[in-house]
Structure 1
């Protein structure tokens, strides 16, 4: 099997190294030719959960990168999903699977852009996971992978054979791959936005003063925890309206790392992944720039489409956009009744 990863960042390279150690031929696409050449000519070490110095093939030619790929993995910020989808459409070959590794509504967006008829004609499948499976950080000239999730939820839409290829690839990487019964479930199960955006607002002055602290322990006040739980309750209402299985934020966070806790505070203090998470050092953090427009805003939009009242999410989005005015409101036209009706209750065909 051959795989191509679009996105030459921490997650993209962590996934590429993971694929390589499972003997899957992998190419990483970077839009920066200089970066691609440098990383190909100067292999870097992988440390942490596994160790390797195996060189990775990095290319700045998108068409050549995906030419022989069975599976294309999109590991970019959700902010550029539109650009990626537009670039891929004329290059996709029959029978390929596309996986949005970061969820955040990439599957629904791709189905709306490609259209169900086009996907059926090309026998292409779109998949997405419910969140980032890796925690990785550059250290000098090495990438340190501190965590890999034990459990990954994945939604699929499109050709069955292509979906199976994508699922089988994921099963080689992660201990437990849960195939969601509904294609909206993975995005609705993405928890980073409903944590990151409120906790960033509750700690705005500390972030602006760039004082280092651990945001999910030092920065998680009782009021912040309560607000997160209110949004999670609204997520439950959306799941009910869509007839999607719901798992609480506490249970979902704990089990995806193979543990069990009773409260949000216990999760964040009990797991090193969360306990040691540093706070953003600027307002350009992914916690804000990605998780607000492609995490919180889609929940609000979905509530509008479904007629579900989401007062906490709506107020959070309105206030966050007022405070973080550098973050434009996204075009979420793909979240509409027609597209939801087209995919609701369907999966691989």
Structure 2
């Protein structure tokens, strides 16, 4: 082996579960979409196509779960404790908070005339289950019940989901005149706690009107 050659490296992937459905939307029309749709259809039994990019963005499930959960479990995160985020760190009151955020997103979707699936129905759709609450779903789905919570404040559940998940909801609400009090309170607490503005993307009303 020459000095500048690198030894072969092996890699492996562990799949603990595969969702049965996925939601997609395209910002521009392209012939390449047909190939993308074929690929996704080979992996998922149900591919939901939406005409508006707002649909998939507003229905992104992670931010409205991760943001409140991380805040409520922040001492665990800062101490590096190991816990199961969606079982040890999730209660019926936590679900109530998530539902408030879910409702605010639903109101934004209505203002944008965009389709919306409430969070519990959406997650059930991913797995073909029929649980009535997130608490039941997280407890009984092994993918969720075995999810280890963050052990560092630099985790993407905080550093990505706050500026690019929660902050945009507040910005959209301000632009559209749709109240988002729970999202605003959550964002304010994060900003005060970390001393970080957690600034997300800005929106232009003219662009939004064009996409609707």
TM-score by length of structure 1 reads 0.57
- 1:1-21 deviation digits (Å, cap 9, x = unpaired): xxxxxxxxxxxxxxxxxxxxx
Greater fraction helix: 2
- 1:42 is aligned, of 9, 14, 18, to 9
Q: Which residue of 2 aligns with 1:339?
A: 207
Q: Distance in 2 between matches of 1:254 and 1:325?
A: 37
For the pair 1:182 / 2:52, whether they are aligned, the reply is: yes
| Structure 2 counterpart SS, 1:184 | helix
Q: Which residue of 2 aligns with 1:18?
A: none
Q: Which residue of 1 aligns with 2:102?
A: 232
**Structure 1 consecutive aligned stretches of length 4 or more whose deviation exceeds 6 Å:** none
| Structure 2 counterpart SS, 1:157 | coil
Q: Distance in 1 between matches of 2:33 and 2:174?
A: 31
C-alpha displacement of 1:267: 1.0
| Structure 1 counterpart SS, 2:27 | strand
Query: Does the 8 Å CA contact 2:69/2:94 hold for their aligned counterparts?
Result: yes
| Structure 1 counterpart SS, 2:32 | helix
Write the mapping of 1:87-236 to structure 2, written as runs, cut at 5 A: 142-236=12-106
Q: Distance in 2 between matches of 1:255 and 1:197?
A: 22
Q: Distance in 1 between matches of 2:76 and 2:64?
A: 19
Query: Does the 8 Å CA contact 2:108/2:173 hold for their aligned counterparts?
Result: yes
Q: Distance in 2 between matches of 1:231 and 1:224?
A: 11
| Structure 2 counterpart SS, 1:338 | helix
C-alpha displacement of 1:327: 6.8
| Structure 1 counterpart SS, 2:185 | helix
C-alpha displacement of 1:303: 0.8
C-alpha displacement of 1:208: 1.4
Which protein has greater RCO, CA pairs closer than 8 Å, 6+ apart? Answer: 2
C-alpha displacement of 1:326: 5.2
- 1:248 is aligned, of 118, 131, 156, to 118
C-alpha displacement of 1:150: 0.9
Q: Which residue of 1 aligns with 2:147?
A: 277
Listed as ranges, the gaps of 5+ residues in structure 1 are: 1-36, 45-141, 345-349
TM-score by length of structure 2 reads 0.91
Query: Does the 8 Å CA contact 1:283/1:324 hold for their aligned counterparts?
Result: no
For the pair 1:260 / 2:114, whether they are aligned, the reply is: no
Listed as ranges, the gaps of 5+ residues in structure 2 are: none
Query: Does the 8 Å CA contact 2:27/2:52 hold for their aligned counterparts?
Result: no
Q: Which residue of 1 aligns with 2:178?
A: 308
Q: Distance in 2 between matches of 1:221 and 1:244?
A: 30
Q: Distance in 2 between matches of 1:282 and 1:144?
A: 23
Query: Does the 8 Å CA contact 2:162/2:198 hold for their aligned counterparts?
Result: no
**RMSD of the TM alignment (CA)?**
1.8
The alpha-carbon distance between structure 1 residues 269 and 192, as it changes in their structure 2 partners (threshold 3 A), is same
| Structure 1 counterpart SS, 2:24 | strand
Q: Distance in 1 between matches of 2:125 and 2:28?
A: 28
| Structure 1 counterpart SS, 2:127 | coil
Aligned length: 208
C-alpha displacement of 1:221: 2.8
